[in-house]
Amino acid sequence: MIAVALALAASLSGVAASGWSAELDSPFAVLDTPTSTAVSALQGLRERAADLAMRAMGLVGIQYKYGGNSPENGLDCSGLVRYVFKESRGANLPRTSEEISRVGQNVESHDLQPGDLVFYQTLRHAFSHVGIYLGDNKFIHSPASGGAIRIESMDLAYWKKRFNGARRINESEDKTVH
């Protein structure tokens, strides 16, 4: 877990230090020189993503509970995502992973950023599981009954085979999503 946190911090620091990045799909990516506005916007993005990821990692080990909405009573996958986004950003996301999959904007797997949501087909329908991308092809999730919140690699064959897509929840959507 510490290695993931360090990798996340390093990748986010590199983005902020450069002043802009094409991989952020930012209008600042076309600038020839960084401006204070670009640097400020990227630093804000880095801080929000780092806060969201750190809050999620602080829940590692919490037991899975179907329908669970709180760390005290256990969390299921969508409960984890909802809890972290509520605590970190004040966002009210929908209850199920399938409903959450309709919020935000689609993100290609090669454009994933820490804080993006990753979706999997673990049951007999698409978008039946959700986790939070941490960087370095790792995500955090609440797996299933008998399990606990943990960090896993998206490179594992199990997850690669079941990947449904990813979404990015933008700041403007945070407060209005229900």
Residues identified as active-site:
77, 129, 141
Q: Which of 69, 131, 76 is closest to 101 using CA atoms? A: 131
Q: In angstroms, what is the C-alpha Rg of the chain?
A: 16
Token readout for 106 is: 């689609």
Token readout for 133 is: 């991308």
Task: Using CB atoms within 10 Å of the CB of residue 155, give its burial: 0 to 12 exposed, 13 to 18 middle, 19+ buried.
Answer: exposed
Q: 65 by DSSP, 3-state: which? A: coil
Rounded-to-integer distance, Cα 132 and Cα 52, Å = 9
The DSSP code sequence of 59-119 is TTTPBB-TT-EETTTEE-HHHHHHHHHHHHH-----SSHHHHTTSSEEE-GGG--TT-EEE
Q: Which of 129, 128, 55, 37 is closest to 91 using CA atoms? A: 55
